[in-house]
Amino acid sequence: MESKGDDRPAAARRELWAWLAGTVLGCLLVLLAAGRTWARVAEAAAQAPAGGDLSPVLTPVALAGLAGVVAVLATKGAGRRAVGGLLALCGAGAAAGTWAALDDTAVTGWLAEHNALRGAAGLAYEIAPLWPVVAAAGAALMIAGGAFAIVRGGRWTGMSARYERSAGDGGAARADDDKALWDALDRGDDPTESR
């Protein structure tokens, strides 16, 4: 029977993978929603705005969130908590951008600007609810992912953990062997010669 201590690295690894999947999904949902149409226009020939048209911050904060995910994996300790905070801020930016995009003045202003040649200053429209909801869900996942990285990220291993030496792995003995080889080279001995 395995002890509880033996299961900690496996539990932390599962937690990391769950965090990674959820946070990346959140960023991708915001990216996907930013490229989709958020308002349906009654006039068939009129241009309809995408989420990124109404709120230009959506795509940049989603991309910054993806970069933040990689940075969380690459850092440890206080650096990881700081990046988690930035990731949560990216999620908050996506939420604020989603809210701002649904403002009536943002939609009517965009429609008037992009359909002015058609003489359609007061186009009737309705919000397509699916994509703003998708963007809001993605923003919520990004905020949760950032907060979770702040609170629990200290338990996760970093990208370079497999390359770091621990105190009990014989690192000092290898260092002594390496020094001995360099000393032999300094004396003019050929370390490739068989003795």
Is residue 12 packed enough to be buried (19+ CB in 10 Å), middle (13-18) or exposed (0-12)?
A: middle
Domain boundaries, the chain: 12-160
Strand, coil or helix: 154: helix
DSSP code of residue 57: T
Angle at 183 between CA 178 and CA 188, to 5 degrees: 125
Provide CATH code, domain 12-160.
1.20.140
Beta bridge partners of 41: 125
Per-residue pLDDT of the chain (195 residues; tens, 9 = 90+): 445 555 777 887 888 889 999 999 999 999 999 999 888 887 766 778 888 888 999 999 999 999 999 999 998 888 899 999 999 999 999 999 999 988 888 888 887 777 765 555 566 777 888 999 999 999 999 999 999 999 988 777 766 545 455 555 555 566 677 777 777 777 878 767 765
